[in-house]
Structure 1
Amino acid sequence: MRTRTFVLCTALMVLVAACVWSASAAVAPNTTDERLIHASGTGEVTTTPDRAVISFGVETKDTDPKAAQAANSQAMNKVINAIKAAGIASEDLKTTGYNIWAEEPDNDKPFRSKAVIYHVTNTLQVTLKDVDRAGEIIDIAVANDVNRVNGLYFTLSPEKEQTLRADALTQAVTHARADADAVATAAGVTITGTKEITIGGTYVPYYERSFNAPMAMDAGARMPTPIEVGEAKVTASVSVSYLCA
């Protein structure tokens, strides 16, 4: 009886050991001994913006909302026709806002109108492909009944942005490789290839210029509105993992 028990226990132990060995073999990771150098780089390209975007507004008011609306329509049509006559294409003009709101009378203040005043505002965005004409177009708009200049900024056309983005990325990769080569030389290893490249963010800025509308109104005195374009910097970054031996 003891002999049978001993034999049974021995068999169970062998079976358990075999299962453990099998399980260990199944989960054993198949790893490779890679030697890597991680480096990052940034590229920067300086350029001159080739697009100017100006936002104009015409605001009219009247106690009769229809009268305010009609006056606004007349004024904005005059502005649009003047800008088109200056050579700006219809595709570069876009209405970005239209608003009608009522100004309630302040009954607590004497000598103030007791009537409701209706304000009508129409906003026009003009994109210029010749940035040097920004001051000229502002003067034309103000001379033709624009009474609000909401803003002006400079940016890049999609074509120029794509070209400069590629240049900035090329610079970023070159800088990353230079750093990796320096580290490899110091560590006594040789870079044999590239395992992975991650492209970081690309920054294409726009530059805003501000000025006072009354400056543009001096156009009648032959004093054009001065606008300086300035420069823009396009930046890009990459992270690279290099194989080495």
Structure 2
Amino acid sequence: MMKNLIRITALLLILAVAAVGSVSAESDSSVNDKVIHSSGTGNVIGTPDRAQVTFSVQTENTDVKKAQAENSAKMNTVIEALIAAGIPRDALKTTGYNIYPVYEESTGLMMPKVKTYRVTNTLTVTLHDVSKTGEVIDIAVANGINQADSIRFMLSDQQQKVLRTEALKKAVEQARSDADTVAGAMGTAITGVKNADITGGYYPVLFENYQYQYAGAADMKMASTTPVQPGDITVSASVTITYTIR
């Protein structure tokens, strides 16, 4: 009766641990090892220290060459304004360029005629100072940008490495704690680590097709910098560890 009670208690402990992680015990017949498989996940919240702002100049004209020329002039003005504001030239990158015809509405079986040509030039600005995001948007719009595409907040490689290391430590601690609990309930103890698998990462904070209301340069002088809040980023790491037991 007492042996059955101990077995039931051990089983309940294993099920309870499975609610927060994943633990299983078995005998590895290939090397005669008794093992416990345990998994854990660690999450660490960090603040983005990189930003990418993507926007476009869009022009339209019945003459494709004029549409191109107007677009080029506006984008050059935007680029020079950003550089004058202290943004390094190598932080600016053209990430899209399209020319396509805009057709008149089709009537009957007649082929629609080309009404105008639309040129879109897309620029991505990478910022090492996230606090300048709103200022960059304001400067770009004041100098010719007329299409907002996306704002992406990210972690630098160094920041990502620091947070991932912390998340991995938490994941390993959880896996080991769960394994110790199960081993103790089974009347045994962990003797070593046989192998470990690691996964995880993070997703940037992304705002796509953000709305920007702009009435003109005069209003821009009176307005404060566009407020942009990057929010937080969660870095996750997961481990699955195989422990040997007595």
Task: Decide whether the 8 Å contact of 1:142 with 1:216 is kept in 2.
Answer: no
> 1:33 deviation in Å?
2.5
> Aligned-pair distance for 1:224?
2.1
Helix, strand or coil: the match of 1:199?
strand
Matched length: 211
Contact 2:101 2:114 in 1 (8 A): no
Instruction: Determine the structure 1 residue equivalent to 2:228.
Output: 227
- Secondary structure at the aligned position of 1:116 is classed as strand
32 and 62 in structure 1: CA distance in 2 versus 1, 3 angstrom threshold: closer
Identity of aligned residues (%): 45
Once the 2 structures are TM-superposed, how far is the Cα of residue 178 of structure 1 from its aligned partner? 0.9
Q: Give the conservation status (yes or no) of the 8 Å contact 1:219–1:225.
A: no
- 2: distance between equivalents of 1:234 and 1:60? 41
Q: Note if contact 1:149-1:213 (Cα within 8 Å) is conserved in structure 2.
A: yes
Q: Any conservation in 1 of the 2:141–2:214 contact (CA below 8 Å)? A: no
Contact 1:216–1:225 (CA under 8 A) maintained in structure 2: no
Residues 215 and 225 of structure 1 are in contact (CA less than 8 Å); yes or no, is this contact kept in structure 2?
Answer: no
Q: Which residue of structure 2 lines up, in the alignment, with residue 120 of structure 1?
A: 119
Structure 2: segments with no counterpart, 5+ residues: 1-28, 108-112
| Counterpart among 197, 202, 205 of residue 203 in structure 2 | 205
Task: Select the structure that is richer in strand.
Answer: 2
8 Å CA contact 1:139–1:216 kept in 2: the answer is no
Deviation at 1:89, TM superposition (A): 1.0
2:204 corresponds to which letter in structure 1?
Y
Task: Determine the structure 2 residue equivalent to 1:152.
Answer: 151
1:101/1:119 contact within 8 Å kept: yes
Residues 113-148 of structure 1: per-residue CA shift (max 9 Å, x gap): x76311111000011111111111100000001001
**Structure 1 partner of 2:240:** 239
Q: CA RMSD in A?
A: 2.0
Bigger mean CA deviation after superposition, 36-45 or 206-215: 206-215
Match of 2:80 in 1: 81
TM-score of the pair, normalised by structure 2: 0.80
Post-superposition shift, 1:173?
A: 1.0
Contact 1:191 1:244 in 2 (8 A): yes
Q: What's the CA shift for 1:163?
A: 2.0
**More helix, by proportion:** 1
Aligned residue in 2 for 1:190:
189
* The structure with more radius of gyration: 1
Give a deviation string over 1:32-88, Cα, whole Å, max 9, x none. Answer: 421111110101111101111111100111111111111000000000011111111
Distance 1:159 1:85 in 2: 28
Q: Counterpart of 2:166 in 1: which secondary structure?
A: helix
**In 1, Cα distance between the equivalents of 2:91 and 2:45?**
26
> How many Å separate the matches in 2 of 1:137 and 1:71?
22
Whichever residue aligns with residue 176 of structure 1, its letter is: A
The normalised TM-score by structure 1 is: 0.80
Give the direction of change, closer, same or farther, for the CA distance of 1:186–1:215 in structure 2 (3 Å limit). Answer: farther
Query: 2:174 aligns to what?
Result: 175
